[in-house]
Structure 1
Amino acid sequence: MSPLRIVWTVARREVNARIRTRSFLISTVAILAILVGYAALMFFIGQQGATSKIGFTGQATAVAAPFKSTADRLGTTIQATQIPDQAAGEKLVSDGELDGLVAGAPDALSLIVRTAPDSAVRTALDEVVRQQALDAELAMAGIEPADVHSVLAGAHVDVRTLEPADPQRAERLGMAVGAGALLYFFLIMFGQAVAQGVVEEKTSRVVEILLSTIRPTQLLAGKVLGIGLAGLVQFVLIGGLGLAAGVGSGALALPSTALIGTMLWTLLWFLLGFYLYATVLAAAASLVSRQEDLQSVVSPVIMVLVVPFVVGVSVLPTDPESSIGAVLSLIPGFAPVLMPMRTALGVAAPWECVVSVLLSIAAIAATLRLGGRIYANAILHTGARVKLLDAVRWG
């Protein structure tokens, strides 16, 4: 068999072993169900909170129109309903069919709610009350309120922006954080799966049987490739459904080109990041012979992955064009989390993306060479933990 066919055989074995396990299926279904449920919940909450149902009774019906207009100007949608009497309106509020009831004379309005008033509704109603009081005072002073309103309508601050505002910034930020979190979670989860698989084969001495027919580097390459493909299947399912749920619930209204572009970049960085970290973790895991010792060798690698995630969720949301984010996104190891986030935010220049990809590919090639040497030298040594320098020098 050719070396490539041997690697593919090992990879296919890993894919079948991972995808057909009950834990893989259960975790995939559970995460998909959580995503769908979360999207449905956000859609329901959004629909419920989109409109406030306010009743007006008695003389308060005269302010229903100006109240609705003021609320619209403040960004709150009001569904105004005329109620025949106050007692009936209070019962509707108590039953939860109305969010509030406005009663009383226009110059002495009262808002009746079940527990606490909505801040936006109260702000709009306070403005209407103040306007009514001002109109009354102007009329008593012999000044036409309409003339004052026309003067006030023309008085405003002239705003001049140096850079156009991005109306989709919040959606881009949501995409960026979602992509970064998904990559962080999957890189850790499947990277540790590689490390655990290495130790399991070493502990059970299965690796000795495998290495009697194939080379250590071929076994390492096949294992990393197979687990990476299994992770890619779950990554695409969860990421695709999450994207569809966001679009379906109305949380994401970005152009299709931006959505597809972000998804493709995220998939590319999952592959680059996984094969970089998985190779390092596999080499590190080959140094120990027990699951109890595994955490001591994988923790330093995982900590390297924590740094870009922390930078991504703490720095980029407030300062997308920060220098620290731009510099770290070019460094292999940090790029798989930071660069797709910067791409989703639209602040990564094309040359930065190209340079980052090339540097990551070069790092993967170097890691495969060094990691393969460590793995080949340490995988057959059982018992005490193998020192890293010894694993590099042997052979």
Structure 2
Amino acid sequence: MTGTSSAAPGRFGPVWLVATREIRTRWESKAWRLITLVTLIAVVGFVVVMKLVSGGGPDATVGYVGGQAVGQQITASGKATGLEVETRKVSADAGRQQVRDGDLDALVRIDPRGVVHVTAKRELGSDVEAAVTALAQQTAIHEQVTKLGGDPATFERAVAAAHPQVTNLEPPRTFSPDQLALGVIAGVLIYLSLMMNGQIVAQGVVEEKSSRVVELLLAAVRPWQLMAGKVLGIGLLGLAQMVVIAGGGAIAAVATGVLTISIAATASVVVWLVVWFVLGFFAYALVFAAAGALVSRQEDVGGVVMPPLMLVILGYVIGVSVLPSDPANGVVRVLSWLPVFSPTLMPIRVAMGGVPAWELVLAVALIVLAIPGLIWVAARIYSNAVLRTGARVKVRDAFRPL
């Protein structure tokens, strides 16, 4: 099994044995199952809460005194300012009482001179104020058009029909709120999974090293086989965890109607989320395994995993802070191709849509090409450092054999 002329099954058989040992150990851990269950409940709960708070009702309820045309004007003004307004025709006294009781957000009355009077309980919300301000301005325009001998209705139709002639040099890219939300959720899931499972790899290496179990294991398997088996086992468990959490959240979102995009589009996001978890985990897990081999105490794990961990955090922060407000950001687009950031940025971009196929192929190809190099570097550091106990091993020393 340890000879250089061993067949592939002989060389990779121990890797699978170590992997199954890791899977069995982690699966039997109540903490791992509890974390998975709590995360799944949190994701499904978030979906349910979003459904409850969205409610599907109007943004504001406004009462009005006067004819039906006043109500139509209020609704149109709200729509022009991005506010969904429900209107109710009431008397002045009843309207004031409903405002006092909180049943109405505001009461609107237009006097014969065209002045808009608004009654609120304490103060108008900024969104309602914007709508009634638009109403007041529109009413003032009507008064001036009438004084000049024109027809306000004809004037409104002419204004509504006026549109600029726009020529797009490239096809426009639009992003729905559902796509933005799905992108952010994808980023959060991949970020948490990489952080949690990556650190589990490093802590597992240190645990075996500090307890001297690694010395017994290395009597039967090679260092690279032990490292690869640990990464593979924890990776497969992390993959199962990701599928359960992402799949459960997607099913809940589609079932409750929180996401209105198609089931096929949602499934595509989940598939790409899994793909990028696999690629990102194996790339970062190799680094975490090598980093864990440099120290002998659990207290020192945080220090050695912090540099790669900061790259994961940086990619996540860039993704969730920049992309929702600027989905076509050129800098983020380029960063999402790089193996360091693609596992955290590309899932968000894919969820939001509009990623050209060549960019996906490029990003996948770059990280796939980077993994063999990471395997060589991580295996060398792990092999030379995992049996060194005591003080932290310097990286340059870890490249030199004992």
TM-score, structure 1 normalization: 0.86
1:97 match: 103
Q: What does residue 166 of structure 1 align with?
A: 173
Say whether residues 1:381 and 2:388 are aligned partners.
yes
The offset of 1:284, in angstroms, is 1.6
Alpha-carbon shift at residue 170 of structure 1 (Å) = 4.3
Counterpart of 1:381 in 2: which secondary structure? coil
| Deviation at residue 54 of structure 1 after TM alignment | 2.2
The AA in structure 2 aligned to 1:284 is A
The separation in 1 between residues aligned to 2:136 and 2:16, in whole angstroms, is: 75
Q: Does 1:179 align with 2:186?
A: yes
2:218 corresponds to which residue? 211
In the TM superposition, residue 325 of structure 1 has moved relative to its aligned partner by 3.4
Name stretches of at least 5 consecutive residues in structure 1 with no aligned partner.
none
In structure 1, how many angstroms separate the alpha carbons of the residues matched to 2:168 and 2:243? 40
Q: Please report how far the alpha carbon of residue 282 of structure 1 lies from its aligned counterpart in structure 2 after TM superposition.
A: 1.0
Superposed CA deviations along residues 179-203 of structure 1, whole A, max 9, x for unmatched, are: 2332222112111111011111111
Name the SS for the 1:166 alignment partner: coil
SS at match of 2:85: strand
Q: Tell me if structure 1 keeps the 8 A contact 2:61–2:88.
A: yes
| Residues 71 and 77, structure 1, Cα contact 8 Å, conserved in 2 | yes
User: Following the alignment from structure 1 to structure 2, what is the Cα–Cα distance between the partners of residues 3 and 98?
Assistant: 74
Given that 2:175 and 2:353 are in contact with CA atoms closer than 8 Å, whether structure 1 keeps it comes out as no
Gaps of 5+ in 2: 2-9
Give the drift of 1:226: 1.1
Partner of 2:202, secondary structure, is helix
Give runs of aligned pairs for residues 282-361 of structure 1, distance below 5 A: 282-317=289-324, 320-361=327-368
2:283 corresponds, among 267, 276, 283, to 276
1:202 is matched with which residue: 192, 209, 220? 209
One-letter code aligned to 1:115 = R
Matching residue of 2:26: 18
Name the counterpart of 2:83. 76
Amino acid aligned to 1:47: G
Over the residues paired in the alignment, what is the CA RMSD in angstroms?
A: 3.0
Can you list the C-alpha shifts for 1:137-160, whole angstroms capped at 9, x where unaligned?
554555444444454444443344
CA drift at 1:372: 1.9
Q: Distance in 2 between matches of 1:277 and 1:67?
A: 56
- Tell me, yes or no, if the aligned pair for 1:321 and 1:347 is still in contact at 8 Å: no
2-structure distance, mates of 1:361, 1:195: 22
TM-superposed deviation, 1:343:
3.2
1:128 aligns with 2:135: yes
Find out whether 1:55 has 2:63 as its counterpart: yes
- Alpha-carbon distance in 2 for matches of 1:276, 1:137: 69
Query: C-alpha displacement at 1:67, in angstroms?
Result: 2.2
Q: In the TM superposition, what whole-angstrom CA distance separates every residue of 1:301-353 from its partner, at most 9, and x where no partner exists?
A: 22333343344345545555555434433333332223333433445433333
Amino acid corresponding to residue 196 of structure 1 in structure 2: Q
Mapped to 2, the partners of 1:69 and 1:378 lie a distance apart of 71
Determine the C-alpha separation between the residues in 2 that align with 1:363 and 1:312: 22
> Is the aligned partner of 1:41 residue 2:49?
yes
Q: Deviations over 1:16-53 (max 9, x none)?
A: 22233222233223222332333233323322663422
* Counterpart secondary structure, 1:201: helix
* Percent pairwise identity: 41
Please, which moves more after superposition, 270-279 or 170-179?
A: 170-179
Report the Cα distance in structure 2 between the residues aligned to 1:138 and 1:348, rounded to whole angstroms: 49
Offset of residue 134 of structure 1: 4.4
Is 1:114 the equivalent of 2:138? no
Q: Give the Å deviation of 1:227.
A: 1.0
d(CA) in 2 for partners of 1:134, 1:18: 71
- Answer with 106-115 or 134-143: which moved more: 134-143
Q: Distance in 2 between matches of 1:183 and 1:255?
A: 22
Give the CA deviation at 1:267: 0.9
* 1:261 and 2:268 matched: yes
SS in 2 for 1:393: coil
Given that residues 58 and 86 in structure 2 are in contact (C-alpha distance below 8 angstroms), is that contact kept between their aligned partners in structure 1?
Answer: no
Residue type at the aligned position of 2:199: Q
Inter-partner Cα distance in structure 1 for 2:205 and 2:132: 67
Q: Is the 8 A contact 2:316 2:344 kept in 1?
A: yes
Aligned residues of 1:184 and 1:305 also touching (Cα < 8 A): yes
Residues 175 and 352, structure 2, Cα contact 8 Å, conserved in 1: no
Q: Are residues 68 and 386 of structure 1, via their aligned partners in 2, closer, same or farther at CA, if it must alter by over 3 Å?
A: closer
**Matched AA of 2:104:** L
Q: How many positions carry a matched residue from both structures?
A: 393
